[in-house]
Amino acid sequence: MKMIFDSKALWKERFSAYTTEVMRYLRYMFNDHLLFVLIIGLGAGIFYYAGWVKTLEPSFPVIPLMVILLTASIAISPVATLLQKPDVVYLIVQEKAMDAYFSQAKIASFFMQLYVFVIVLGICMPMYVEVTGIPYSQFFTLFIVLALLKAWNIYFGFESMKLEDADTTWMFVRVIVNAILIYISLISAPFISIPLVLVVILASYYWIKKKTSKVTLRWEYLVDKEEARMNRFYRLVNLFTDVPHLRGTVRRRNYLDFLYQPIPYAKRKTFAYLFSRTFVRTNEYIGLYVRLTVIAVILLVFVQGFYLNIIFSLLFLYLTGFQFIPMLKHYDAQIMLRLYPIDDAYRHRSFIHFLRILLLGQAILFSLIGIAQNGTIGGMVILGINLAFVAIFTFLYAPIRMKKMYE
């Protein structure tokens, strides 16, 4: 008896496995420690943002700023196809039957990404209302427009992946169309913006449908895009816990060799060299450190206030230290370390020392900004508090966390 291929059942099976995996990793990420820090940071950010909004002048370029932020949140619309490498061989013959599968993928991707532009819009609304005088009720009109555009981006983005230059030409087209429609929605009334968006969506739907009607799916391309999407999630999770199937990227960066060349050639310094070399050459670690440092510097430069300076300094010192602790287990799967065993005490001591250097670099940098903003005395107080935090974190908190990792 001939079996009928059910692509909807396949989607349900894969989506169920995907959500189970994501929820399992999210439990590791949003633990009690991180939630506590995020709540403090969010509270401080809301307090500062509310005060800053009240100082805005009518000349503030709120509409161009919102166009940029909302366009980014809308145009970046990856479709979670959940495809796997074997699908290139086994499902390519079922391409017509996979239409229902990809329809479910588009719908799920829309709802999975809905929160992004809602958060961005919610953050921008106080600025928008303060500068333009438009009431908060405009939020619902903008939400409808953005939801329509998000659905359009997901559909148009998936269909354009059947064509060449999906990541360049067609992405550029989507960004331009989004920016124009969002700008019109911000400056016009609902009875103009919503019909205009609907007209553009319907016209582009029929156009892309006709253009791709005789084009087959680029299966290898879709699988590569899905792997890249999942790797971005795994890299984020890997900052909090081990992800066995993460595919990391490494670069030589010989111009940074001077950072670990002073480490002496000795057995007790083996892991000091390994951790330093891994940090310099592995994109996940050096990228994390640079991103957190840059974000912290930008906030500290624009945040005016002695206490807010302290709060943000301690917040980012904690986030950096907390997210680097899983790096201790980076070499656990290396068989060569079993052939040349080194006492774990050397490993733990080297890692604590390495972590302390990273945090001291940030603490000094944040304190220099504090000196520039609050004077020598205020800056030295901030430096003292930062150094005290680094000492408490590396001498007390980090060893406890490291011990729990191996229990």
Q: Tens place of pLDDT for every residue, the chain, 407 residues?
A: 456 778 889 999 999 999 998 888 888 777 656 677 677 778 877 888 888 888 888 888 999 999 999 999 999 889 999 999 998 888 888 888 898 999 999 999 999 999 999 999 999 999 999 998 888 888 898 999 999 999 999 999 898 888 877 777 888 889 999 999 999 999 887 778 889 999 999 999 889 888 888 888 888 989 999 988 988 888 777 666 666 666 556 666 665 666 667 776 766 677 777 888 888 877 778 888 888 898 888 888 877 778 888 888 998 999 899 888 888 877 766 666 666 777 777 778 888 998 999 999 999 999 999 898 888 888 899 999 999 999 999 999 888 888 877 66
Contact 79, 154 (CB under 8 A): yes
Contact 351, 327 (CB under 8 A): yes
Q: Quick one: residue 82, left, alpha or beta (phi over 0 = left, psi -120 to 50 = alpha)?
A: left
Res 250: pLDDT: 64
For residue 127, which of 195, 185, 56, 69 has the smallest C-alpha distance? 56
Res 63: pLDDT: 92
Res 65: pLDDT: 92
pLDDT single digits (tens) 244-287: 666 556 666 665 666 667 776 766 677 777 888 888 877 778 88
Name the pTM for this structure. 0.72
| Dihedral pair phi/psi, residue 282, rounded to 5° | -95, 125
Contact 348, 328 (CB under 8 A): yes
Q: Annotate 272-307 with three-state secondary structure.
A: HHHHHHHHHHEHHHHHHHHHHHHHHHHHHHHCCCHH
What distance in Å separates the CA atoms of residue 236 and residue 248, rounded to the nearest whole number?
Answer: 12
- List, in order, residues 6 or more apart from 148 with CB less than 8 Å away: 194, 197, 198, 201
pLDDT single digits (tens) 59-107: 889 999 999 999 999 998 899 999 999 988 888 888 888 989 999 999 9
Res 147: pLDDT: 94
What distance in Å separates the CA atoms of residue 138 and residue 50, rounded to the nearest whole number?
Answer: 19
Helix (H, G, I), strand (E, B) or coil at 250: strand
